[in-house]
Amino acid sequence: MCGEKKKNVNITKKNAPSKCSILSVFGGKNVSKVYQKCVVIENQLVMNNLGGWRKVELLLLDEFERLVIGKNGAVVIPKEGTHVLPHHRNGVQLVATPKVDENGCLYTHSCSIELRSSKLSSEYRSILQRAAHCGCILIGTTNNGDSYLFGDKDTPLTGTFGREHGKRPSDLHECVLSVSTASIHPELPLI
């Protein structure tokens, strides 16, 4: 419900009333501010449910001072900073898939990131090669601003980094970082 109403009327995106029907609910008073408030609240609800990853940061195993995992999340303190990966908007897959059996629950953290090679210097490529071979952790930030940790110092993400030649001329990515690990915890929120 939005604003103060004389009748109990739920305003949702599906049944958003016109200004005429809002005027009748409020007895013909000036309700443009109430209507705008309802639209703003509805837009905020939609924004809070956006999927996807806005930013993905990479840390090599020797690049963080402290990594603490607790019951409610994780704390990562980098030594100097993180490597922000130049990914495509839809070119990131970060997941922690649970697998339950008689021994308990094990999570598979996996990541596949499509990167534009034009934005990768030779130094950055060597960092990504080292991350894939020696291990790394990833911090993914969603479009809602929530950050999650994938991998940890005991079970780092490892895998491959290499060129992927597109199938069509419209394919923009040329490099892919694919890393994964098995862990006893899901992706952890950063606190």
pLDDT single digits (tens) 124-147: 999 999 999 999 999 999 988 999
Would you say 180 and 111 are in contact if contact means Cβ atoms under 8 Å apart?
yes
Averaged pLDDT for residues 87-107: 88
Q: What is the pLDDT of residues 34-89, one digit of tens each?
A: 444 444 444 444 445 567 899 999 999 999 999 999 888 999 999 999 999 988 76
The per-residue pLDDT for 190 is 95
Q: From residue 9, how far is each of 5, 15, 29 by CA, in Å?
A: 7, 10, 16
- Report the chain's mean pLDDT, rounded to a whole number: 78
Higher-scoring residue by pLDDT: 116, 36 = 116
Give the integer Cα–Cα distance in Å for 92 and 49. Answer: 18
Say whether pTM exceeds 0.75: no
Q: Is 102 a residue whose pLDDT tops 70?
A: yes
Residue with tokens 């960092």: 127
Pair 78, 64: CB distance under 8 Å: yes
Residue 125 burial (C-beta neighbours within 10 Å; 0-12, 13-18, 19+): middle
pLDDT range class, residue 117, cuts 50, 70, 90: confident
